Structure 1
Amino acid sequence: MAQFGQPLEKAELNKLSNSLHKEPNAEVLTRTITHNGIDAAAFDPQAAVRLDPVFSLELETGKVTNQKRSGRCWLFSAANMLRHQFAKQYKVKNFELSEKYLFFWDKIERANIFYDRVIATANRPLSDREVSFYFEMPDDDGGQWDMAAALVEKYGVVPVSAYPETANSEDTSALAATLNRKLRQDGLQLRQLIAEEKSDVEIIAAKEAMLATAYKITAYALGEPPMQFDLTYRDDDKQYHRVTDLTPQQFYQDYIDMDLSEYVTVTNSPDKPLNQLYRLPSEENVVGGRQIQFLNVEMDVLEQVALAQLQDGQAVWFGNDVMQQMDRKRGYLDSNLYRYSELFGVELQMTKAQRLETHEAEVSHAMTLTGADVVADKVTKWKVENSWGAKNGEDGYFTMSADWMNDFVYEVVVNKKYLTDTQRELLTKAPVELPAWDSLA
């Protein structure tokens, strides 16, 4: 039997070096890669041909938004779906909603649900995998579609003019660090109270005081959100409009033509059984609010329902692994953008399921589909609205190849009407609960 765990000796290191120098292009490749960098050496210039930003189907959209130094992409993409509906109905091309408004309430709701989770798991050690997950990042910028929908359904929305971006929403690092530290301290205190068998009255009072502090920190950093506002805008026909004393809930209900209860997250996560409804309770942000659910299907189904919604004139929220095969400046998303396997002469391909199972892949970003190029009934590329400002891509819009969609897109949000009767029936079933560390988390 072979012996493992042996140290590398000089003879073995010489063998490795000799093996390298037997490669016919070793010196040329070393000079090329060390001088230019791996990505530049692996870059395929033909991507410019494949990703020519011309589409047979394009929604009427305006200027892109910019999340700047924050992880609020999920809120920006959700706000894009809502604002495009408003823009289309009221003819206001560059209308923008306040992502900071939803961000504020997410901070408060996350603190509240974190305290509840700490209390519910207080009898477990801190090393417990679920408990560790909650304490690792009690406050986080990132999120899921259903989390955004839960906030909109409870708090409504406001225009960006009523609650504009400020320093701590454009760069959330200091606020996140402060809240994380405070919530962890609070969590330890709650665990201690329970260990000391304090009464429910004492524990509830402690939680209320903690939540008041979290609210104070968030309000100091972001400013309190408006309870009422005036809606003023000039439409694309230059007509002036003004509606006074709207609440955020009124504005959403009366002016945004989207019933979020009719929308579902359709996923392709082949590391788990398909044609199954799943739930991710560990990331839900609103106590008593909307559950995070995924309908896991074949990739061709995900693509079909996304295209159907675009063809009906509505944008599509989608979750993806944006750091894979991406050129930020050019706005390219293409599975063959960087030919690493050819460059190094090694096979680096993995299946989608393998990438998810081994944490090579993750749902790291959310963007918005706003167009597609359909040739002979097949999508060759997609138009993507990002939230990284107008200096990236084509005025902020990216072009995504069909291969990249297949390889690195995991979620789309569509109206249930685009599903088949069989698929809608799955939505009525009890979902399988996923652990906090699932690949879709």
Structure 2
Amino acid sequence: MTTGDEDSRRAMDRSLTPDQLGLFEEEFAARPGNRLMQNAVTQTPVDDVALDRRVLTGIDHSVSHHLDAWRVTNQKQSGRCWMFAGLNLLRVGAARKLGVKDFEFSQNHLLWWDKFEKANHFLEAVIETSDREVDDRTVAHLLADPTSDGGQWNMFVALVAKHGLVPKSAMPETASSSATRAMNRDLKTLLRRGARELRGQAGEGAEAQRRTKREVLAAVHRLISIHLGTPPQRFLWQWEDTDGVFHRDGWLTPAQFAASYVQLPLEEYVCLVHDPRATSPVGRTFTVEYLGNVVDGPPVVYLNTPVELLKSLAMDAIVGGEPVWFGCDVEKMMRADAGVWDAALFDYPAVYDAPFAMDKADRLLHHETQMTHAMLFTGVDVLDGSPRRWRVENSWGEEKADKGFWTMNDSWFGEHVFEIAVRRSALPPELAAALDQPPIVLPLWDPMGALAD
């Protein structure tokens, strides 16, 4: 049993009292460094104050192996990084076959199909969960963002396999593909209204829900076609190579174009992640409930591996002549104007006189990190058989870094890179075999289900 004095003291500890506020103010004023930092940060962005210039000036941008001899792409005000990174990987072989230096597949074409497939995927999930309360955690998560721009490697592969590819000239960018906010706003409203109708029909039988779903999809089709244009069923493909020689392939479907110009066996690629949480055993496959875009397409499955293996496989692929798709938490320890990442680039503890350090597992557990962006490794600096730094093709245009190619110190890879896509044949035999096991199913809100934007 507690005494009255103990109860009173505990109540004081729970609330912010004048005495406590006075102590905090005294502690702040007693440290000269606090006033110095206050003067600096009230006049200057905190990242400029926290920047460790020794780290920044110590970053050498040269690498021993690099593959890029092309211009970077620009996703502009859209969250299509995962799609751009995938298409940037594929355009290397396509440009080589076409005999041109620069080539781009249509990102707008895949965006159209991703939006339509995601709408169908979302509505199916709504039908499946329509007997649950609207504040059920899974239902609430589905409704929070019915059609984000983000995606995963397996979702990219599913789109290419089902809908093919077209050159950028066959379906160029539109105002809405380059700035998706307004389109996504209206699409979310349309889909949430459809979810309300479908949930209201939960007791009326499957046929009633299917009719409603078809009506919603028809409206979705109109909306995205108004914003993005209409995907071509066939197009005339002809071009001039770098030697000035004219070529014509004639009329092609998107599937025929993909079959001719995708030079990588996408079906052989697997997704590896580094998830160091104690609840995520190494050597096990995982999937995330309701994560995906193409209904009945291959599920989003990844294999948990040590980060050193991710580094080794990415390095070997680049040295062997192939760029590597990867996903990361992009804004951590990033200097955009210089186009660099380093795990110790900013000294925030020195600015705030407070501890900031958490390991990767704790950052995942406490919602401090997740995959936010996908890019392409196009170079690596190798010393004594190990990577020192990485060259990265971003999809943020040519204005920053080395005309859009960024530099990542290897320290950053270990802390903030989460996944890569590599050929299954590159894996050690025991890990390749592990891909055949049934995946552990994580809930929809798990941080490893985050989509790269």
TM interval, short-chain normalised: over 0.9
Match for residue 437 of structure 2 among 429, 437, 440: 429
Within 2, Cα distance between the matches of 1:130 and 1:281?
9
Match for residue 44 of structure 2 among 32, 36, 41: 36
CA drift at 1:180: 0.4
CA drift at 1:110: 1.0
> Percent identity between the aligned chains?
35
- 1:61 and 1:84 in contact (8 A); partners too: no
Match for residue 128 of structure 1 among 130, 136, 143: 136
Which stretch of structure 1 is more off in the superposition, 337-346 or 129-138? 337-346
Once the two structures are superposed, the pairs formed by residues 246-285 of structure 1 within 5 Å of their partners are 246-271=252-277, 272-285=280-293
Letter in 1 for 2:112: F
Once the two structures are superposed, the pairs formed by residues 264-413 of structure 1 within 5 Å of their partners are 264-271=270-277, 272-413=280-421
1:116 corresponds in structure 2 to 124
Within 1, Cα distance between the matches of 2:34 and 2:147?
48
CA drift at 1:379: 1.2
- 1:281 and 1:291 in contact (8 A); partners too: no
2:248 corresponds in structure 1 to 242
1:211 corresponds in structure 2 to 217
Match for residue 106 of structure 2 among 79, 88, 98: 98
Match for residue 146 of structure 1 among 148, 154, 160: 154
2:231 corresponds in structure 1 to 225
Within 2, Cα distance between the matches of 1:43 and 1:49?
11
**Which SS does the other structure have where 2:421 is aligned?**
strand
Letter in 1 for 2:230: E
Note the residue ranges of structure 1 that are not aligned, 5 or more in a row: none
Within 2, Cα distance between the matches of 1:172 and 1:37?
29
Residues 245 and 333 of structure 1: CA distance in aligned 2, closer, same or farther (over 3 Å)? same
Which stretch of structure 1 is more off in the superposition, 45-54 or 109-118? 45-54
Letter in 1 for 2:390: W
CA drift at 1:230: 2.1
CA drift at 1:51: 2.5
Letter in 2 for 1:397: F
Within 2, Cα distance between the matches of 1:259 and 1:320?
24
- 1:85 and 1:314 in contact (8 A); partners too: no
Deviations 1:227-263 (A, max 9, x none): 1112233323333222111111111112211121100
- 1:332 and 1:393 in contact (8 A); partners too: yes
1:49 corresponds in structure 2 to 57
**Which SS does the other structure have where 2:14 is aligned?**
coil
Within 2, Cα distance between the matches of 1:238 and 1:365?
38
**Which SS does the other structure have where 2:90 is aligned?**
helix
**Which SS does the other structure have where 1:165 is aligned?**
coil
- 2:389 and 2:409 in contact (8 A); partners too: yes
CA drift at 1:24: 4.2
2:3 corresponds in structure 1 to none
2:10 corresponds in structure 1 to 3
- 2:76 and 2:178 in contact (8 A); partners too: yes
Letter in 1 for 2:73: T
Deviations 1:199-240 (A, max 9, x none): 433322221121111111111111111111122333233332
**Which SS does the other structure have where 1:283 is aligned?**
coil
CA drift at 1:10: 2.3
Match for residue 67 of structure 1 among 71, 75, 97: 75
Note the residue ranges of structure 2 that are not aligned, 5 or more in a row: 1-5
CA drift at 1:191: 1.1
Q: Normalized against structure 1, the TM-score is what?
A: 0.96
Q: Aligned pair 1:420/2:428, yes or no?
A: yes
Deviations 1:15-34 (A, max 9, x none): 11222233243332222222
Which stretch of structure 1 is more off in the superposition, 158-167 or 342-351? 342-351
Letter in 1 for 2:192: R
- 2:56 and 2:345 in contact (8 A); partners too: no
Within 2, Cα distance between the matches of 1:34 and 1:206?
55
- 1:384 and 1:397 in contact (8 A); partners too: yes
Q: CA RMSD in A?
A: 1.5
Letter in 1 for 2:238: T
**Which SS does the other structure have where 1:264 is aligned?**
strand
**Which SS does the other structure have where 2:199 is aligned?**
helix
Residues 204 and 25 of structure 1: CA distance in aligned 2, closer, same or farther (over 3 Å)? closer
Within 2, Cα distance between the matches of 1:148 and 1:348?
35
Which stretch of structure 1 is more off in the superposition, 46-55 or 378-387? 46-55
Letter in 1 for 2:10: Q
Within 2, Cα distance between the matches of 1:133 and 1:346?
34
Within 1, Cα distance between the matches of 2:69 and 2:161?
24
Which stretch of structure 1 is more off in the superposition, 1-10 or 288-297? 1-10
1:193 corresponds in structure 2 to 201
**Which SS does the other structure have where 1:36 is aligned?**
coil
CA drift at 1:9: 2.3
Within 2, Cα distance between the matches of 1:239 and 1:73?
33
**How many residue pairs end up in the alignment?**
439
- 1:281 and 1:292 in contact (8 A); partners too: no
CA drift at 1:394: 1.1
Residues 26 and 119 of structure 1: CA distance in aligned 2, closer, same or farther (over 3 Å)? closer
Within 1, Cα distance between the matches of 2:103 and 2:56?
31
Letter in 2 for 1:296: N
